[in-house]
Amino acid sequence: MPFVRIDLIHGKPAEYRRAIGDVVYDAMRQTINVPEGDRFQVITEHASADFIFDPAYLGIARTADCVFIQVTLNKGRTTELKKAFYQAIADGLHERIKIRREDVLINLIEVDKENWSFGNGVAQYA
Amino acid sequence: MPFVRIDLIHGKPAEYRRAIGDVVYDAMRQTINVPEGDRFQVITEHASADFIFDPAYLGIARTADCVFIQVTLNKGRTTELKKAFYQAIADGLHERIKIRREDVLINLIEVDKENWSFGNGVAQYA
Amino acid sequence: MPFVRIDLIHGKPAEYRRAIGDVVYDAMRQTINVPEGDRFQVITEHASADFIFDPAYLGIARTADCVFIQVTLNKGRTTELKKAFYQAIADGLHERIKIRREDVLINLIEVDKENWSFGNGVAQYA
């Protein structure tokens, strides 16, 4: 189970927010071997005072439409797979809802397979 | 210090949300050797558009009452202890507030002991 | 990129919340070698029922003004650097907005350098 936290500015329509979740899930399916149905995501909107990004770090021009995507997932994907995952998210968000690729920020937190329970109090992957 | 993030659907009473925190804390005390008083938790409610779960992944039937519990804690618990912790949470939530065991999702993020400050700018565990 | 989540009680003014972000960023710059402009932070306010802290754990007297600061960052800082970081945050929050040092809780989550994309779907640190 990747568990996904999506943080963005307040005020986008529900379909827009939902599309972000769709794109992240599709990118997982296509690039990092996530099984069908393995989709658990929470989205949080923030007032602009509470959503702070640098508009130029690393020479990338960001706007208030930037999106933070933090994914907790099992250890062990190669750097190549991670790169493909990032590109698929940035491309998908641009194609589907016109988010600028510069505005897509992604972070992965890797954990052991016994660190999950998907229900019933069982460690399904251990 | 385990630090606990609890995410759930919007609209449950405060006592219900608080009971989730109580159960997670009690499970920590009983199964994974967390000291008395080591309780730091934030609860976030989400509109249904922003709280996305698969209703069948791994053959487990989930409802909109599912709860995501993400726990950051020190490294080093055995898989057996983690399993006991998951079971204690699922059982406790079912017994205390009738959450279906299928609706309890748990994820652990493990960190080093010097990665905590509990106040005063000191790394109390280092 | 450290990515910072700040959780606190509901009802503080926007300038107060923003000052917390300022202090955390300044502490990063001064103590743990974070580059200029590397600032990405989300702040979430919680009702008191949803913001749970122990008022005495480890003998530290905490109040409802306590702040949880969770920082995801690259692996590899020494314990000495982490301690300096904690102290700089606690001191800065006290000096700038009078938060009691006892009320400052910090947790670090360390990840690999290929676990970040800052925009454009590229793993800039890999």
Each residue of B23-45: pLDDT tens digit?
A: 999 999 999 999 999 999 999 99
Neighbours of chain C (3+ CB pairs under 8 A): A, B
- pLDDT of residue A1 exceeding 90: no
Q: Which of the residues C2, C13, C35, C55 is marked catalytic?
A: C2
Cα B18–B114–A50 angle (5° rounding)?
50
Question: What pLDDT shows up at residue B1?
Answer: 66
* Residue among C14, C115, C120 whose CB faces A107 most closely: C115
CB C31 within 8 A of CB C84: yes
CA distance readout (Å), A92 to A67, A75, A105, A123, C8? 13, 24, 13, 32, 34
DSSP-derived letter for residue B51 is E
pLDDT in tens, B96-125: 999 999 999 999 999 999 999 999 999 999
Which of chain B's residues have a Cβ under 8 Å away from the Cβ of C103?
Answer: 119
Exposed/middle/buried for residue A33 (C-beta within 10 Å: 0-12, 13-18, 19+): exposed
C70 closest CA partner among C43, C95, C47: C43
On whether the CB atoms of residues B41 and B6 are closer than 8 A, the answer is yes
Q: Residue B79: its pLDDT value, please? A: 98
Which residues from B are below 8 Å from A when comparing CB atoms?
7, 44, 46-47, 49-54, 56-58, 60, 62, 66, 68, 70, 79, 82-83, 86-91, 101-110
Contact assignment for B18 to C102 by CB distance below 8 Å? no
Instruction: For residue range C45-56, list pLDDT tens digits in order.
Output: 999 999 999 999
Residue B61 tokens read as 């039937």
In Å, how far are A96, B65, C8 from A99, measured between CA atoms? 8, 31, 30
Residue C86 and residue B37: Cβ atoms within 8 Å? Answer: no
Please check the confidence at residue C114 and state whether its pLDDT lies above 90.
yes
C96 by Cβ neighbours in 10 Å (0-12 / 13-18 / 19+) ranks as middle
pLDDT on residue A91: 98
Task: Look at residue A94 and give its three-state secondary structure.
Answer: helix
Q: Which of B38, B112, B121 sits opposite C104 (nearest CB)?
A: B121
Q: Which residue out of C40, C73, C109 would a mutagenesis test of the A interface target, given it has the greatest number of A Cβ atoms within 10 Å?
A: C40
The angle at the Cα of A61, spanning A60 to A66, to the nearest 5 degrees, equals: 100
Q: pTM of the full predicted structure?
A: 0.98
- Residue C32: predicted pLDDT: 97
> Which residues on chain C place their C-beta less than 8 Å from a C-beta of chain A?
1, 3, 14, 17-18, 21, 35, 37-45, 72, 109, 111-112, 114-124, 126
Sign, Cα dihedral of B124, A107, A43, A121? negative
Block residue for tokens 């000291």: B35
- Rounded to a whole number, what is the distance in Å from the CA of C123 to chain B's nearest CA? 22
pLDDT of B58-103, one tens digit each?
Answer: 999 999 999 999 999 999 999 999 999 999 999 999 999 999 999 9
Tell me the ipTM for this assembly: 0.96
Residue C1, pLDDT score: 65
For the segment A6-65, what is each residue's pLDDT rounded down to a tens digit? 999 999 999 999 999 999 999 999 999 999 999 999 999 999 999 999 999 999 999 999
